[in-house]
């Protein structure tokens, strides 16, 4: 067998939808798209045999129950578990990790130790922080270089009190793999090994027995399956030793007024009604994945990732960009940041790509400690799946080459003495309205961005506009009847839009501001999308906050 990416892509209806003809989807680490087989299985569940499982004994309930248990079997085969009783369905990796942290911690003693890495997704960090506070446990972190755990130094953090080592097999922010298969032999027999395989399962077959782990977690939506369903593998003896986490229906054998007896694993850990349609979709996804040549798929993805990295590396020679990742031992994740001293912010790059229907993700990617380690507040993450191809990457590269760089590296200093506001006297709305295309309007906004002075003095928590993807600070005071505003932001598109906002509302009276119809003005300027609620670029929140000041 071999791998043909365009045939593979044809199985994903989203890409042939008229709305998505131009889409380049490079946000696969957040979630992958679903093949038709998965969508059909979900629809089939609802249209043919929707019923709650075990609770009823009619035909549909039996069919639904049989489906759930068949998918459990399939999942056991997928992960090479010894039995389907080792597979627990959860809502996702996050719920699986919360379940494990809570259930494991309830059997630990104060002073017991949990070993993690600084590269963990918040889902494999925050639950441990919560249970550590509740049970007086100690969290220790494997020594790292730039956030990458150095497994050869593991012994430095192991002690007779180590009860759990919980690690991601691949970083969701920087893509590097962690060789978790080498660990079991180095851990004390009583220490549990937990692997977060969320970023691995789409990219290679995973064998829990070969890994030697006690627990492994993943979310179906990251490997072409539905949202709302995750897999928790637990070695049977390890699962049997755990108390349940959530209580409710389905997880008991007997309930009295004051106590209950719990079912055996896996049902002990599945309180309440499961995401049945999602399980049906997961079953189809596993069957579909098993029919792929996963070896060839992995080789294809590795080639593509090398191409992407090589081309981006070349681009960094001519554009103010810096690459944080390397293609070796990487699951297909690239992180790009503006070069030091550049006028760009990561969100500017994300906005620019989004304008061209290229989907990437900007932010700390729920891995804030790792981003701190590499000295970045956030990055532009480009994450690959097997339906991506060189044409996608070439579109990305073309868009990056066109990034508007007109803004001077240093913005104007705040107006001396005034300490407030910006001098926008020389410009007018017509400069924007006369631009004929979105690219030209975007460039005009980025030219205006240079007029918004840097105002470190207003960058205070109380001035931060809540609900923004990018950081924006706003202050307001009244000068007689007139409202005065000062705005600052790291993102150029928001700086440009802020200049526009200031032109509209700064130094105006309440009556003048009240007479403005922002929707209409933005529609006339061709900028209406910046006001759309679905576009969480922060501008809408900024406008809302400014108007609240006006209303007092």
Please give the positions annotated as active site. 366
Q: Distance (Å, rounded) from C-alpha 517 to C-alpha 219?
A: 45
| CA-closest candidate to residue 428, choices 489, 484, 499 | 499
Cβ count within 10 A of residue 14: 16
CB of 199 to ligand PMP, least distance (A): 5
Residues 276-295 interacting with ligand PMP (rule: CB under 6 A): none
For residue 219, which phi and psi values (nearest 5 degrees)? -115, 130
Residues 157-186 interacting with ligand PMP (rule: CB under 6 A): 168, 172
Q: Which of 86, 112, 196, 490 binds ligand PMP (CB under 6 A)?
A: 196
Q: Which of 34, 74, 121, 364 binds ligand PMP (CB under 6 A)?
A: 121
For helices 492-505 and 438-449, angle between their N-to-C axes, nearest 10 degrees: 80
Q: Distance (Å, rounded) from C-alpha 323 to C-alpha 536?
A: 26
The token pair at 136 is 């007086």
CB of 87 to ligand PMP, least distance (A): 17
Q: Is 94 in the site for ligand PMP (CB under 6 A)?
A: yes
Q: Distance (Å, rounded) from C-alpha 47 to C-alpha 509?
A: 59
Q: Distance (Å, rounded) from C-alpha 336 to C-alpha 342?
A: 13
State which residue, 117 or 495, has the beta carbon closest to ligand PMP. Answer: 117
User: What does each C-alpha distance from 373 to 93, 121, 392 come to in angstroms?
Assistant: 24, 14, 30
CB of 350 to ligand PMP, least distance (A): 17
98: Cβ contacts below 8 Å, ≥ 6 apart: 127, 245
State which residue, 199 or 444, has the beta carbon closest to ligand PMP. Answer: 199
Helix (H, G, I), strand (E, B) or coil at 364: coil
CB of 381 to ligand PMP, least distance (A): 10
Residues 307-366 interacting with ligand PMP (rule: CB under 6 A): 366
Q: Which of 41, 93, 118, 193 binds ligand PMP (CB under 6 A)?
A: 93
Computed over its alpha carbons, how large is the radius of gyration of the chain?
26
Using the contact rule CB under 6 A, the part of the chain among 118-126, 177-185, 235-243, 338-346 near ligand PMP is 118-126
State which residue, 266 or 363, has the beta carbon closest to ligand PMP. Answer: 363
State which residue, 245 or 522, has the beta carbon closest to ligand PMP. Answer: 245
| CA-closest candidate to residue 72, choices 266, 292, 271 | 266
Using the contact rule CB under 6 A, the part of the chain among 51-59, 120-128, 182-190, 335-343 near ligand PMP is 120-128
**Binding flags for ligand PMP, 210-229, as an x/- string (CB under 6 A):** ---------x----------
Using the contact rule CB under 6 A, the part of the chain among 72-80, 89-97, 238-246, 483-491 near ligand PMP is 89-97
CB of 235 to ligand PMP, least distance (A): 20
Label each residue of 320-334 as H, E or C. CEEECCCCCCECCEE
Q: Are strands 113-116 and 138-141 parallel, antiparallel or unpaired?
A: parallel
Residues that bind ligand PMP (CB under 6 A): 92-94, 121, 123-124, 168, 172, 196, 198-199, 219, 366
């Amino acid at each position: 067998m071999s791998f043909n990416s365009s045939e593979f892509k044809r199985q994903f209806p989203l890409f042939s939808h008229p709305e998505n003809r131009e889409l380049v989807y490079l946000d696969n680490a957040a979630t992958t798209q679903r093949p038709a087989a998965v969508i059909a299985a979900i629809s089939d569940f609802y249209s043919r045999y929707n019923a709650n499982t075990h609770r009823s004994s009619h035909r549909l309930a039996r069919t639904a129950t049989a489906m759930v248990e068949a998918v459990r079997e399939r999942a056991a085969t997928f992960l090479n578990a010894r039995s389907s009783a080792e597979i627990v369905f959860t809502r996702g990796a996050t719920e699986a990790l919360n379940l494990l942290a809570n259930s494991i911690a309830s059997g630990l003693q104060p002073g017991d130790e949990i070993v993690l890495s600084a590269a963990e997704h918040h889902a494999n960090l925050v639950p441990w922080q919560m249970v550590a506070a509740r049970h007086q446990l100690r969290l220790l972190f494997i020594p790292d270089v730039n956030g990458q755990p150095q497994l050869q130094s593991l012994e430095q953090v192991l002690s007779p009190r180590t009860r759990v080592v919980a690690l991601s097999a691949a970083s969701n922010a920087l893509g590097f793999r962690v060789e978790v298969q080498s660990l079991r032999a180095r851990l004390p027999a009583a220490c549990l090994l937990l692997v977060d395989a969320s970023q691995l399962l789409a990219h290679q077959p995973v064998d829990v027995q070969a890994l030697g782990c006690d627990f492994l977690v993943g979310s179906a939506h990251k490997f072409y399956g539905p949202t709302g369903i995750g897999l928790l593998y637990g070695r049977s003896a390890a699962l049997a030793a755990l108390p349940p986490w959530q209580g409710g229906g389905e997880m008991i054998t007997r309930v009295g007024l004051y106590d209950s007896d719990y079912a055996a694993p896996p049902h002990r850990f599945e309180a309440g009604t499961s995401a049945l349609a999602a399980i049906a979709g997961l079953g189809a996804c596993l069957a579909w994945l098993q029919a792929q040549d996963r070896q060839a798929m992995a080789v294809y993805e590795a080639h593509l990732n090398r191409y992407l990295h090589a081309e981006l590396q070349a681009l960094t020679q001519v554009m103010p960009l810096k690459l944080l990742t390397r293609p070796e031992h990487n699951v297909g994740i690239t992180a790009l940041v503006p070069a030091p001293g550049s006028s760009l912010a990561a969100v500017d790059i994300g906005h620019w790509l989004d304008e061209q229907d290229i989907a990437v993700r900007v932010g700390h990617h729920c891995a804030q400690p790792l981003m701190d380690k590499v000295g970045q507040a956030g990055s532009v993450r480009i994450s690959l799946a097997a339906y991506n191809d060189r044409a996608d990457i070439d579109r990305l590269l073309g868009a990056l080459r066109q990034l508007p760089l007109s803004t001077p590296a240093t913005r104007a200093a705040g107006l001396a003495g005034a300490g407030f506001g910006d001098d926008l006297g020389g410009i007018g709305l017509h400069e924007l309205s006369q631009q004929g295309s979105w690219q030209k309007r975007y460039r005009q906004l980025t030219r205006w961005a240079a007029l918004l002075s840097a105002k470190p003095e207003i960058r205070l928590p109380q001035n931060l506009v809540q609900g923004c993807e990018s950081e924006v600070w706003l202050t307001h005071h009244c000068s007689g009847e007139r409202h005065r505003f000062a705005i600052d932001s790291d993102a150029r598109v928001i700086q440009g839009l802020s200049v526009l906002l200031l032109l509209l509302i700064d130094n105006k009276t309440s009556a003048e501001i009240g007479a403005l119809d922002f929707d209409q003005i933005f529609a006339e300027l061709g900028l209406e999308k910046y006001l759309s609620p679905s576009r969480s670029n922060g501008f809408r929140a900024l406008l809302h906050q400014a108007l609240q000041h006006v209303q007092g």
